[in-house]
Chain A
Amino acid sequence: KAGVTQTPRYLIKTRGQQVTLSCSPISGHRSVSWYQQTPGQGLQFLFEYFSETQRNKGNFPGRFSGRQFSNSRSEMNVSTLELGDSALYLCASQGGSDTQYFGPGTRLTVL
Chain B
Amino acid sequence: AQTVTQSQPEMSVQEAETVTLSCTYDTSESDYYLFWYKQPPSRQMILVIRQEAYKQQNATENRFSVNFQKAAKSFSLKISDSQLGDAAMYFCAYRHLNSGGSNYKLTFGKGTLLTVNP
Contacts and interface: CB of A to CB of B under 8 A. Distances in A.
Given A42-B111, A99-B35, A33 B105 contact: yes
Contact of A105 (B35, B44, B91, B97): B44
A81 B111 CA distance: 27
B56 interface: no
A42 B111 CA distance: 8
Contacts, number: 56
Given A104-B42, A105-B43, A48 B104 contact: yes
Interface residues of B, number: 24
A48 B105 contact: yes
Nearest to B44: A104
Interface of B: 33, 35, 37, 42-47, 50, 91, 95, 97, 101-111
14 contacts: A42-B110, A45-B106, A45-B107, A56-B102, A56-B103, A56-B104, A56-B105, A58-B105, A92-B106, A94-B104, A99-B47, A100-B104, A104-B44, A107-B43
Interface of A: 31, 33, 35, 42-43, 45, 48, 50, 55-56, 58, 88, 90, 92, 94, 98-105, 107
